[in-house]
Each structure stands twice: as C-alpha cells, then as structure tokens.
Amino acid sequence: MAPRSPSAACPCGSGRTFKRCCLRLHQGQPATTAEALMRSRYAAYVVGAVDYIIATTDPEGPLARADREIWATEIRLFSAHTRFEKLEIREATTLDQDHAEVLFFAKLSRDGEDVSFSERSSFVRRAGRWLYESGQVTPHAT
Ligand SMILES: [Zn+2]
C-alpha cells in the first residue's frame, strides 16, 4: 500500500494513467461495466482505498460484513501486507443487464511467498451501480 501519483500508471494494468482510469472511479464516477469495477477494486487494494472496497461490495450479498470496523481493518491489513504484482482479466461475461461475471488472475505475494489466485467474480448492478457480489477462488500454482 502506497500513495500513488495520479499521473503514474494505473495499478490495474490498463496502460492508462491512474487519474484517467481507476482513480476516477475511486473519486465517485460510476463504473460503466463490471470489468471496470473489478479493475478499480484491484487498484483500490493496491492503494489502500478501503472505503471504496466496502462501498462497492454488494450490501445484500454474502461478502458484506456486519462489523464495518473489523472489515475495514482486515482490508487495510491485506492491502498493506500484500504485494500486488499484476492483474489479468481473463474473461468478462454479461449475463443480463444487471448481472455479469469476470474471471481474473491476480499475481500477488506476501513476505516473498506467492499467494496468487484466480477468481470468477459475480457482479450485480443495483440502482445503476455495479457492485461486487461474490467470488469463487481457485489458488494458483504459478
Ligand atoms: Zn485502472
């Protein structure tokens, strides 16, 4: 977790600058697609934008937590102790107007140990805003 210059490369790996990519979403612009939301959440973990992670998790989904303070602390710790090396979007599928899935690979390490994983994430759009609903994680060997 480190402060990131708005003109640096976006942590999501889009090739755009942070300010022209995920930072705009962190500052309140709605994600136009589930994939854009996914990217912005990854970038939020990289920069430690804890409130954004919480705000973009479906409050009616299985991952919403009752105790916001504990939740925020866990996100902060994960963010601070993880090295975010790369995000690869493998597949983005629109199921219907308000439901989508994104398959991604996150290359991560913690204390020099590879903790990369793949996940198939489900997204739901409520009141016009995409939210992260749930995910099926597969640990990744490489
Ligand atoms: Zn980005």
Average pLDDT over residues 109-121: 95
The two beta strands, 113-114 and 83-96, are unpaired
Residue bearing tokens 């934008």: 49
**Residue 112 CA, ligand 1 centroid: distance in Å:** 25
**Band of pLDDT at residue 36, cut at 50, 70 and 90:** very high
**Residue 99 CA, ligand 1 centroid: distance in Å:** 21
Instruction: Say if residue 38's pLDDT is above 80.
Output: yes
Compute the distance between CA of residue 132 and CA of residue 57 in angstroms, rounded to an integer: 5
Give me the domains of the chain, ranges plus CATH numbers: 22-139 (3.10.450.50)
pLDDT attached to residue 138: 85
**Residue 55 CA, ligand 1 centroid: distance in Å:** 17
**Residue 46 CA, ligand 1 centroid: distance in Å:** 11
In the DSSP assignment, the letter for residue 25 is H
Instruction: Say if residue 118's pLDDT is above 90.
Output: yes
Rg of the Cα atoms in the chain:
14
**Residue 43 CA, ligand 1 centroid: distance in Å:** 6
Average pLDDT over residues 77-93: 97
**Band of pLDDT at residue 71, cut at 50, 70 and 90:** very high
Instruction: Say if residue 1's pLDDT is above 60.
Output: no
**Residue 58 CA, ligand 1 centroid: distance in Å:** 21
- The 10 Å Cβ neighbour count of residue 51 is 12
Q: Which residues, chain by chain, have CB under 5 Å from ion ligand 1?
A: 10, 12, 14, 21-22, 39, 43
Compute the distance between CA of residue 21 and CA of residue 87 in angstroms, rounded to an integer: 14
Contact 22, 95 (CB under 8 A): no
Average pLDDT over residues 33-44: 98
- The 10 Å Cβ neighbour count of residue 30 is 14
**Band of pLDDT at residue 4, cut at 50, 70 and 90:** confident
Q: Which H/E stretch holds residue 119?
A: strand 117-126
Compute the distance between CA of residue 142 and CA of residue 18 in angstroms, rounded to an integer: 27
